[in-house]
Amino acid sequence: MQSTQDYPENGAPEGGPWEVFRVFLRLGCSSFGGPVAHLVYFQSEIVAKRKWIGHEAYADLVALCQVLPGPASSQVGMALGWKRAGWRGAAAAWLGFTLPSAAIMVGVAYGIRAAGAFGHSGWVTGLKVAAVAVVAQAVVSMARRLCPDIPRAGIAVLTAVALSLYPAAWMQFAAVAAGAGACSLCGRWLAKEPPLPPPPPRRSANHSYACLGLFLALLAALPWLARIHPSAPLLVLDGFYRAGALVFGGAHVVLPLLQQATVARGWLSQNAFLAGYGAAQALPGPLFSFSAYLGAVIEPGGIPGAMLALGAIYLPAVLVLFGTLPHWDRLRSVPGARVLLSGANAAVVGLLAAAFYSPILTTTITGPGRLALALAAYAALQLRRMPPWLVVAACAGVAEWFLA
């Protein structure tokens, strides 16, 4: 099995937080295409190239983060940093991955008035086309590895169809759970698979329970505190924390929640909200960095407001992840759990396929020129093994000249 790749020897981190920060800073500067594409970049850079974690363990992390509230790609990144260098590695991974886009969004809040015009630029079209190729490569490679037989391939196909017909956020959670359940019913082909050895403990269970307790306590207490003491910082903390805590199924779900927490309160106009969102779509890294723009625009404003909003929206995701991850690691070592995870992983393939079809494919490939560029980018990735960042840059340049 992959235990030597899943965890460092003797539980000691093999790399320091500075190494983790450098890797994720580069990913934060080059990971275009949204959460699904981010998972592909992580797989390519960290799993396949650097071998910080095994392929099955990575798929398990993706399955876990898909069913937790919060931005799945950022949570996977923090978990990878934690497995590499402990708590400081998790913080370094989050900071490196989030800092580039958050800093740009603060700049947008300060000076760029026509951010919505980015949506019509040729180079943005190229970035979207490159994302089509990157995600298509991911779906194919993950399907080959995680759906090697008819039952698991069937789970992936049914999941993709269900999510295409009913793309609600709760359906993503239900689909992953249903895939795990279906695999447990027809998963006899995995009955003899030996369990993974239990991972060495890195933190006590008390810490995980404290994280989950704090998550629930803040979710209940912040609205009450904001009502009795409606100061601007506390209102921002409450609104952005609840937005982050109630997001299931992808970072895009946070947009209506943030709109309700800001525009509905009269803190900024709908046009300003959409302008910031347009800029966020054109940037690498997590979409949650959009909160830095909002925090810089509304009270208390500026860099302090951006830091408060960004920290508040990520805090629930951090608490839930590290409240769950230690127990998830132990669960992975149980033979029956491996069967459940195999079904969940197959469902994740279907989830990625559904996300690839809509909105990535349906909103991007709207003409023969874009289709030709996407096919060329896919060939460069799959056949020529070109690095994703180079393909993304090439697509942006070609689209700026020929598809603008």
Q: What is the pLDDT of residues 175-203, one digit of tens each?
A: 878 888 887 776 555 544 454 445 544 54
- Residue 363 near residue 346, CB atoms below 8 Å: no
Three-state SS letters, the chain: CCHHHHCCHHHCCCCCHHHHHHHHHHHHHHCCCHHHHHHHHHHHHHHHHCCCCCHHHHHHHHHHHHCCCCCHHHHHHHHHHHHHHHHHHHHHHHHHHHHHHHHHHHHHHHHCCCHHHHHHCHHHHHHHHHHHHHHHHHHHHHHHHHCCCHHHHHHHHHHHHHHHHCCCHHHHHHHHHHHHHHHHHHCHHHCCCCCCCCCCCCCCHHHHHHHHHHHHHHHHHHHHHHHHCCCHHHHHHHHHHHHHHCCCCCHHHHHHHHHHHHCCCCCCCHHHHHHHHHHHHCCCCCHHHHHHHHHHHCCCCHHHHHHHHHHHHHHHHHHHHHHHHHHHHHHHCCHHHHHHHHHHHHHHHHHHHHHHHHHHHHHHCCCHHHHHHHHHHHHHHHCCCCCHHHHHHHHHHHHHHHCC
The residue ranges of every structural domain in the chain are 13-190+205-404
pLDDT of residue 187: 55
Reply yes or no on whether the pLDDT at 340 is more than 80: no
Reply yes or no on whether the pLDDT at 347 is more than 90: no
d(CA 196, CA 298): 49
pLDDT (mean) for 373-383: 90
Question: Among the ranges 13-17, 36-40, 190-194, 203-207, which has the highest mean pLDDT value?
Answer: 36-40
pLDDT of residue 19: 94
Q: What are phi and psi of 393, to 5 degrees?
A: -65, -40
- Residue 341 near residue 55, CB atoms below 8 Å: no
Which range among 96-100, 348-352, 373-377 shows the weakest confidence by mean pLDDT? 348-352
- Residue 107 near residue 319, CB atoms below 8 Å: no
- Decide: pTM greater than 0.85: no
Reply yes or no on whether the pLDDT at 111 is more than 80: no
pLDDT of residue 191: 44
Reply yes or no on whether the pLDDT at 6 is more than 80: no
Reply yes or no on whether the pLDDT at 231 is more than 80: yes
Question: Among the ranges 56-65, 77-86, 278-287, 385-394, which has the highest mean pLDDT value?
Answer: 77-86
- Nearest in space to 45 (alpha carbons), one of 71, 14, 24, 75: 24
* Angle, vertex CA 129, rays to CA 64 and CA 76, nearest 5: 15
pLDDT of residue 40: 85
Q: What are phi and psi of 61, to 5 degrees?
A: -65, -40
Q: How many CB atoms lie within 10 A of CB 79?
A: 27
Per residue in 40-96, pLDDT tens? 889 989 998 999 998 888 988 888 887 788 888 999 999 999 989 989 999 999 999
d(CA 180, CA 94): 29
* Percent over 70 (pLDDT), the chain: 80
Reply yes or no on whether the pLDDT at 319 is more than 90: yes
